[in-house]
Amino acid sequence: MSILIDTIRIAGFRGIKNLEVSLSRIIVLIGPNNAGKTSLIKALQLSLGDYSRYLSEEDFYISPDERRVNEIIVDVRIVPADANGDRVAKFDMEWLTEFGDKIQSEANGNQFVAIRTRSEQNVTKGGFDTNRTTLEIWPPFETWTIIKVKGTKLGSRLQSLPLVSMEAQRDIHQDLRDRSSFIGKILARGC
């Protein structure tokens, strides 16, 4: 059985004030420059990868009245999925073993793992502090950044969830036709 990051929430990151995106098994981001495609990918890297090493002041959202936010919050929800990427109720034994007590259940019995990543400037030491916790609930989007949510601190990012992202492709027409290219191989798998 597979798993799926079915939802990502981002607040205070780059040009994103507050956003929730539902994700599917394969995602292709297409849009004009400055639409937020790279910001979405970098937010995933902050949550599940090593982007915290590269975090800078410019990554913190600046409001229209020129105020910079104090923290970045990225939540991801991981759910069990079947081979087609459709959500199923329970994680299989492999993921139960991997996630352990990080797994939570909704009222209907559907299981999930929710990870919250918070980054803020460390004025004492300089640089930025990034902390990851698992959440006990998946709060409603309307209150997700302000509601107090119990969580358990993660020592580090989850090694079982390697994040592989592709750099932006400015002209992918050739890659789409070439079955031996990375994109061609993905498309050939029937995605």
The pairs formed by 183-191 with CB atoms below 8 angstroms and a separation of 24 or more are 186/26, 191/25, 191/26
Q: Give the model confidence (pLDDT) of 127-147 as tens digits.
A: 999 999 999 999 999 999 998
Secondary structure (3-state) at 111: strand
Please, what is the average pLDDT of the chain? 89
Mean pLDDT, range 64-72, rounded to an integer:
96
Q: With CA atoms as reference, report the closest residue to 5 among 30, 20, 25, 19.
A: 25
The whole-number pLDDT of residue 36 equals 92
pLDDT beyond 60 at 191 = no
1-157 fold: Rossmann fold (3.40.50)
The whole-number pLDDT of residue 190 equals 63
**Residue 3: what residue type?**
I
Q: With CA atoms as reference, report the closest residue to 16 among 76, 57, 74.
A: 74
**Residue 163: what residue type?**
L
Q: How many percent of the chain have pLDDT more than 90?
A: 65
Output the pTM of the full model. 0.86
Length of the chain: 191
13 vs 71: CA distance, rounded Å: 8
More confidently predicted of 162 and 36:
36
Give the residue range(s) of CATH 3.40.50 domains in the chain: 1-157
